[in-house]
Amino acid sequence: MRFPEPFLAAHGYSAAAREPLPADASHRRYARLRGGPRPALLMDAPPPEDVRPFADLARHLLAAGLSVPEILAEDPAAGFLIVEDFGEQTHAGLLDAGADPAPLYGEAAEALAALHAAPPPPGLPRWDAEAMSKATAATFLDWWWPAAFGAAPSPAVRAGLDEALRATLAPFAAARGIVHRDFFPANLMRLPDREGPRRTGILDFQDAALGHPAYDVASLVEDARRDVAPEVRRAALARYLALRPGLDRGEFLAALAAHGAQRHLRVAALWVRLERRDNKPGYLRHGPRCWALLDRALSQPACAPLRAFMDAHVPREMRRNPAAPAAGTVPAEAGE
C-alpha cells in the first residue's frame, strides 16, 4: 500500500499512525489513520481503479440522507482519498462474533430501501441485461468453462448464454434505480448512535449503477459469502417490501429469482478467476454455496430460459468448482 506523505501532511495526518486493513478481492487498499484531526481512513486505489465515482456518489448519497463516509480530502489523479472512519463494527464482523442476525439484516433492509428510494445521480452506468450478460461471460465462460471442460466455449455456447440471460432479465427491464451491486454484510457498518436507515453505514459503492433493485436484495439475503437462515431471509425481505409499498410483490419475487440466478452464476465462476488469475484460492470455499443458490433460483419459473441453457450445456454433476489444475499448469490469461 502507498502512503502519500505530502497529501497526508497537507490535511493534518503526517503524524498519524497508519494501520493497514485486510485486503479484499479488489485492487483498493485501506489504512486506518489514528491521531489526525478526526478518525479517518486512507483509500489507495491505483489504476485501473478510479476514486472519482466513489467520491461523487458519496456526496450524492450523503445529500440523500444515507450513511456513507464523508470525503475529507481527495487526490483523484493519484488515486487517494481520506474518508470518514465508521469504526470497526461491520455487519460481517458482528455476525462472525455471534450477533443475532435478525436485527442486522432488518437494519440492512431498511438502509437498502432508502438507497433504492434515492434519486440516482446523472452518469451512472447501466447494469442491464447487456452489461450483466457480458459480466457473466467474463467469469463463467472465460474462466470457469475452460477450467471445467478443458477447452474454451464455442461461439454457439457464447451466443446461447447471452440469449438466455437476456430472455431471463428482459421482463424486468423497466425498473431502474441506484443499485449498489455489492450490498452484503462485509460492506455494511453498524452505527448505533444514528437512527433509521442511517444506523447502517454503506461502504464500497463505487461500482453502483442503474439497475433493478432486486439485484441488491439478492446480494443481501442470498449472500455469496455466508449462509443466511431462511427465517432471517424472509424477515429481511418482508421488511424491505414493507418499506417500498409501491412494488408488486409477485413481480419483485420473480425479479429476485432472475437477478439472483445471474449473480450466483457470475460469482460462482468469479471465485475460479480469483484462484487461477489472482492466486487467491481461499475464495473457492464459497463455490458450493453459490452453486446451491443458483440451483434454487433456477427452479423458479422466471429463470426458465437460463435453466434451459444450463440443462443443455452443463450437466448437473459439473455445477461445482472445477478440479484443481495439474501441477505446473499456467492459467490462461482470459477474461477481464
CA–CA distance from 304 to each of 32, 257, 310 (Å)?
A: 47, 10, 10
Q: Which helix (H) or strand (E) holds 188?
A: strand 188-190
CB contact at 8 A, 144 and 269: yes
CA–CA distance from 184 to each of 15, 86, 90, 101, 205 (Å)?
A: 34, 16, 10, 13, 11
Which backbone phi and psi does 122 adopt, to 5 degrees? -70, 150
Quick check: 270 pLDDT over 60?
A: yes
CA-based Rg of the chain, rounded to a whole angstrom? 20
How do residues 215-224 score in pLDDT, each as one tens digit? 999 999 999 9
What lies within 8 Å, CB to CB, of 37 at 6+ separation is: 11, 12, 13
User: What pLDDT score does 324 carry?
Assistant: 86
* CATH 3.40.50.300 at 5-84, yes or no: no
Closest to 132 (Cα-Cα) out of 170, 105, 186: 170
Quick check: 118 pLDDT over 50?
A: yes
CB contact at 8 A, 268 and 138: no
3-state secondary structure of 192: coil
Summarize the chain as % helix, strand, coil (round to 5): 50, 10, 35
Q: What's the grid cell of residue 311?
A: 440443462
User: What pLDDT score does 327 carry?
Assistant: 55
Q: Please say whether the dihedral angle defined by the alpha carbons of residues 13, 18, 21 and 25, taken in this order, is positive or negative.
A: positive
Q: Which helix (H) or strand (E) holds 159?
A: helix 155-169
User: What pLDDT score does 23 carry?
Assistant: 75
Quick check: 98 pLDDT over 70?
A: yes
CATH 3.90.1200.10 positions along the chain are 91-318
User: What pLDDT score does 49 carry?
Assistant: 86
User: What pLDDT score does 150 carry?
Assistant: 97
User: What pLDDT score does 48 carry?
Assistant: 85
In percent, how much of the chain has pLDDT > 90?
Answer: 90
User: What pLDDT score does 326 carry?
Assistant: 62
pLDDT band at 208 (very low <50, low <70, confident <90, very high): very high
User: What pLDDT score does 336 carry?
Assistant: 31
Q: At what angle do helices 155-169 and 304-313 cross, to 10 degrees?
A: 160
Quick check: 333 pLDDT over 50?
A: no
Q: Which long-range contacts (CB under 8 A, 24 or more apart) does 325-330 make?
A: 325/147, 325/276
Quick check: 334 pLDDT over 50?
A: no
User: What pLDDT score does 151 carry?
Assistant: 97
CATH 3.30.200.20 positions along the chain are 5-84
How do residues 134-172 score in pLDDT, each as one tens digit? 999 999 999 999 999 999 999 999 999 999 999 999 999
What lies within 8 Å, CB to CB, of 172 at 6+ separation is: 212, 214, 251, 254, 255, 258, 259
3-state secondary structure of 96: helix
Amino acid code (one letter) for 145: W
Low-confidence winner among 46-55, 58-67, 277-286, 311-320 (lowest mean pLDDT):
46-55
pLDDT band at 301 (very low <50, low <70, confident <90, very high): very high
User: What pLDDT score does 169 carry?
Assistant: 98
Superfamily of chain region 91-318: Aminoglycoside phosphotransferase (APH), C-terminal lobe (3.90.1200.10)
What lies within 8 Å, CB to CB, of 256 at 6+ separation is: 214, 217, 218, 237
CA distance 45 to 31: 12
CA angle 207, 223, 61 (to 5 degrees): 35
In percent, how much of the chain has pLDDT > 70?
Answer: 96
DSSP symbols for 222-272: T-SSS---HHHHHHHHHHHHHH-TTS-HHHHHHHHHHHHHHHHHHHHHHHH
Q: Which strands sit side by side in the sheet containing 29-34, from one edge to the other?
A: 17-20, 29-34, 40-44, 80-84, 71-75
User: What pLDDT score does 25 carry?
Assistant: 59
Look up the pTM and report it. Answer: 0.92
User: What pLDDT score does 318 carry?
Assistant: 97
